[in-house]
Structure 1
Amino acid sequence: MAENKLKHEQIQYLEFLSNDIARAKDFYTKCFGWKFTDYGTGYTAFEGDYVDGGFTIGKPVNGSILVVLYSDDIELSKNKVISHGGTIVQDIFSFPGGKRFQFTDLDGYELAVWSL
Structure 2
Amino acid sequence: MSRISFVELPASNLSTTRAFYDDAFGFAFADFGPSYSCTMTGNVDLGLQADASEATSAPLVVIAVDDLEATFEAVGKAGGIITQPIFAFPGGRRFHFRDPSGNELAALKAD
Give the TM-score, by structure 1 length: 0.46
Give the TM-score, by structure 2 length: 0.48
